[in-house]
Structure 1
Amino acid sequence: MKHLNRLLVAAILFMGIGVANAQDENNPWAVEVGMNAVDVYPAGLNDSQLLYQQNGMRGDIFDEYFNANDHWNILPSVSKLAVSRYIGSGFVFTAAGTINRIDKMGDVAVSDLSYYGADGEIKYSFKKALGSNWFDPSLGIGGGYTWIDDIGFGTGNAIAGVKFWFNEYLALNLQSTYKHAFEDAYGVTHFQHSAGIVFQFGGKDTDGDGIYDKDDECPETPGLAEFNGCPDTDGDGIEDRNDACPNTPGLAEFNGCPDTDGDGIPDPQDECPTVAGLAALNGCPDADGDGIADKDDACPNEAGPKANNGCPYPDRDGDGVLDKDDQCPDVAGTVANNGCPELSVEIIKALSDYAKTILFDTGKTTLKPASLKVLDNVTDILKEYPNSRFHIDGHTDSVGSEANNQKLSEGRAASVVNYLIERGIPSNRLVARGFGESKPIAPNTTKEGRTTNRRTEINLIPRN
């Protein structure tokens, strides 16, 4: 058993050295100075320890746990010194040394016995999990070696504690540790309570700007405290990481960039940074107001279209579309329709009326001869509006199967399209569609309704 105790002490020392070397420069060290109390009575018994209960030295586990007057051994001086290191993910390693004087074992008075303890602890802090800045409970385990009246024995420890942080560096620590002795013959299982003041310190300042890395938002670049350790190279009051022009003093409204000509456009976006201009022209001036920057205008003092490099250009029909771009240069139209006239409501209605008179042979896709004159009139109208595109839609009544009606409507629409193409209408202006019996506009229960539903429609395709 003595060899086991020595091994335990060696393991604790090794663990302490290992943790001390596991540097985490962004988290501090801490030193605790305080007092401790040793209480044997509530440490619990096993079957071989009934004598302890009979003589009043021990009770059951947690029995009279808070009976400080009768059971606690307290040395009225500084009796605890601990050094802690945060090792990441909420875990803290602590190496602690304590001294005390034992004058009572439970209710039994004893001679003045010396007490020394050396312990290593791993504790988990719940402070971050609770989202608290001041309340810091923890649980932990550990081990150590205790000497009572120069007799030593190893212990396994279970720890519960809570720190109350006054600020970032100073806290009150209250802790209770259950120490189970590994030596049945002479080991003393007991509780050790402590209260101490914790001083937190340390941390690394990689860039040497006086701001610890844990608080430095730019830990590898020297900066200013007002910017949480980040630099402001050009001294314009805007930290570099938020400064679009970090090496040139500028204005906050332009994210740190200058506006040399004062036209409200920052220099990086200003194509004419030394001459005041217009935002619409990226900061360049437009003397003749034709919407073309002077630097790109072949006639900067005479308004003209962009297509002619800013110089005046003929527009015979006066519709605002240059002749070279006007698909109907002698007939006034609209810019949106490339200089050609837009279809009026009357023209659209005329196409709709013509479409209603397009007839087919019964049950077939072939056009009746009477429909050819109608389609010639449709052709003439479509040629007057060369930029317009149309849907040619076929519909049937509900007589017959749905599949046959769908096929019939598609074939009739295709027949109309083919006829118009043969008369000179470009194929890219026409889209044939068949809807079968799916879109009736009258009841299919009457002869008149079915006649109405057998129809062709010509619909204008809106421009994108």
Structure 2
Amino acid sequence: MKHLNKLFAGALLLAGFAANAQDSTNPWAISFGVNAVDTKISMKGNDHLRFEELYNPQGNWNIVPSVSYVNVARNVGGNFSFGLTGSFNKITKWVEHVEGTKNTHVVGNPGDLNYYGVDGAITYSFKSLIKSKWFDPSLHLGGGYTFFGDASAGTVNGGWGLNLWFAKNVALTLGSTLKYGFDDKRMPNADVPTHIFHQAGLKFQFGAKDRDNDGIIDKEDACPDVPGLAAFQGCPDTDGDGIQDSADACIDEPGTPEMNGCPDQDGDGVADKDDACIDVAGLPVLQGCPDADGDGVADKDDACPTVKGEKANKGCPWPDTDGDKVLDKDDKCPTVAGTVANNGCPEVSDETMKKLNDYAKTILFDSAKASFQKQTFPVLQAMVAILKEYPTAKFALEGHTDSDGKDAMNLQLSKDRAAAVRTYLVDNGIGADRLTSEGFGESKPVASNKTKAGKAQNRRVEVKLVK
């Protein structure tokens, strides 16, 4: 009895601690403790039960001062569980009814009868209904088989229970069960009487699965296949930076929450994994690298890191080689001074065109042929030099003849001579795309074909600027 009182006092002290009841998460539970058998409710000569001095441990209860019952239970769904209880006791107090006396209840010793019980019960817990974390009352109903001295019989059982969960999976358990015996009108050493079975002990729940063995059951583990920490619902924090791996962009390197778990060695707000210059503070737009001249080109890629320049020119200013105020990047003639209007190329003047045509007029061909006379080559070279001064200008070469000979022959001769001039110029460095040639025969005379001087003027090559 002394041990039972200590258990009960401990329960009152620990009842305020939160814990979990047996449920589908922890489907199994085992309980053990002491029991007390109270026989006073069964009254000889009456067809009904009397509950007098129901809780009178010293007067009515039979107690063995040791572990005297074991219960194994399993949750079967919702708030229901099924359990089996095995128990033993020593019956040293028997309450006998004595008729015709003032005190009708006499406590006697029936002869130290051995008591054994095997009982099964369905239990309904009210813990979830009352929304408590530690206070867990219940009702149970079932039946069993009891050995009472030399007698044995089945019983129908019903009662109450109370679990006080003071640790995660441990509770102090209390309860009382009415075990109704159908043949309780005779003496107890002849049959099994109706009695109350009290119990007090400890209950341990178990059975929850923990696949990764991290001490957090699968139902509560957000990462059930990987060992983790309770602080992160069972998920790991490999680098120990306080950021779980699922939210950590650098799971193997300690970092900061601001960097999503990654380190930032130079403190420039760019995580090291994204920082092309991890030892020098820089700009996010340049992958963490500095830009001393502010031209948008990182110093490590800037050929002119202290002078503001252009990205397309490796961070340096664009040059103007020919000094015509058109930068080389925009200058179609970067080595020849020109005008802004002509994209940095020189513009062909009327004076230049006159000079070209003066030279063209002195080109001499062999008679009735498209081949040049020897003295003409210096003239052609002079024309090449002029055309090279205007590298983007395009020109049309036109051939003409006098009226001597047949028209068709003169037309073809003019075409051939203009083409011969073009071929020479191209062969001497003038771009083929800059020159075209055409012949007009005797159709466009500039002088009279009736005189020798006039015919000489009509045999010519003209140069025209193509705009």
TM-score w.r.t. length of structure 1: 0.47
Higher helix share: 1
